[in-house]
Amino acid sequence: MAVGPRVLEAAGFPRPGRLSRLREWWEQEHVFGYGLIVPAIVLLVTLVAFPFGMAIWFSLSDYWVGSPGGFVGLTNYRDILGNETFRQTVQNSFVFTGIAVSLKMVLGIWLAMLLARNLKFKRVIRGIVLLPFVIPTALSTLAWLWMFDSLYSVVNWTAIRLHLINAPGPNWLGQSTYAMAAVITVNVWRGLPFFAITVLAGLMAVPREYMEAAEVDGATSWDRFWHVTLPLIKPVLAVVILFSTIFTFGDFNIVQVLTRGGPINTTHLFATLAYQVGLQGGNLGQGAAISLFIFPLLALVVFFQLQYVRKE
């Protein structure tokens, strides 16, 4: 109940000044709520929404670095769709994302099941497993670059000594199939911990009784996994797969450091091609159009995610 100023005055209280009225206003739940969220919204509008709008404008203009361009409609999109390199990039992106995410999923579940056991050194093992996720990706990718070096590759050296391959072995980053394999390997190496640890969290939430009941009923370990564990961790798995897909699809660091999209553009992803065309080549219009191709996938993921969140 608000107390009017007259009543307060009559009761011997001083008339509320401007300051206290301001305070009263600020104490209202909705005013306080808006007040706290304003900085975040200002930031997101000026540095995410506005640049995003700019990206769309760039993609519809012939904007070059240093020269304000004019509206050219869908010319950029038509140009890149007719461009061999771009079509190659689309294919690369799907191959890269498809294989990398599948591998991360299968290996991640497997790793999570191993980590869920009550082993000695559990903490140390989990700590080590997470390392690739924590270390700066660009830097750890440098180590891989050196490991895949055309002349001094330790991978080839080992394989040759073990008589798995004949000398000199593949030129990892110089041949398209091997380069793609290399890029995927590094992505899996770096992204697997995220999968494993989140799936592990999902596994820990599964009540032990379910597993025990299934075991008592004589279910084999494969049956237990397929019919008990997997359905129970499905929600977690769905979230991780969606997140991973979007970040793998938008990957930049690994490809930029390892191959820069080569050899002959066979490992370019949208981000690295956009960087090459838009910033190194200076054609901001086309670069923006290329990077916007990530957007439909993003929209799809956000849509599914929101459906899922709402259902929860």
Site size toward another protein, by CB under 8 A = 98
SS3 53: helix
For the bound state, the minimum distance from the C-beta of residue 185 to another protein, rounded and expressed in Å, comes to 9
Which residues inside 288-307 make contact with another protein, applying CB under 8 A? 288, 291-292, 294-295, 298, 301-302, 305-306
In terms of phi and psi (left: phi > 0; alpha: psi -120 to 50; beta: otherwise), the region of 283 is beta
Distance, CA of 268 to CA of 215 (rounded, Å): 48
The amino acid occupying position 119 is L
Which residues inside 4-63 make contact with another protein, applying CB under 8 A? 23, 26-27, 29-30, 32-37, 39-41, 43-44, 47-52, 54-55, 58
For the bound state, the minimum distance from the C-beta of residue 103 to another protein, rounded and expressed in Å, comes to 12
Which residues inside 170-209 make contact with another protein, applying CB under 8 A? 189, 194, 197-198, 200-202
- Does 252 bind another protein (CB under 8 A)? Our answer is yes
For the bound state, the minimum distance from the C-beta of residue 252 to another protein, rounded and expressed in Å, comes to 5
For the bound state, the minimum distance from the C-beta of residue 141 to another protein, rounded and expressed in Å, comes to 8
SS3 71: strand
Q: Quick check: 137 and 254 in contact, CB under 8 A?
A: yes
- For residues 256 to 275, the per-residue mask of contacts with another protein, x marking binding by CB under 8 A and - elsewhere, is xx------------xx--xx
Cis peptide before 5 (omega within 30 of 0): no
* Count of Cβ atoms closer than 10 Å to residue 37 Cβ: 10
**61, 93, 229, 253: which one binds another protein (CB under 8 A):** 253
Q: What single-letter DSSP state applies at residue 1?
A: -
**4, 73, 82, 136: which one binds another protein (CB under 8 A):** 136
Choices 9-17, 72-80, 106-114, 169-177; region in contact with another protein by CB under 8 A? 106-114
Distance, CA of 71 to CA of 59 (rounded, Å): 9
SS3 260: coil
**3, 74, 164, 279: which one binds another protein (CB under 8 A):** 279
For the bound state, the minimum distance from the C-beta of residue 121 to another protein, rounded and expressed in Å, comes to 9
Q: Quick check: 277 and 283 in contact, CB under 8 A?
A: yes
For the bound state, the minimum distance from the C-beta of residue 287 to another protein, rounded and expressed in Å, comes to 5
Tokens (6 digits) for 60: 């519809």
Q: 220 φ, ψ to 5°?
A: -75, 165
Which residues inside 216-235 make contact with another protein, applying CB under 8 A? 216
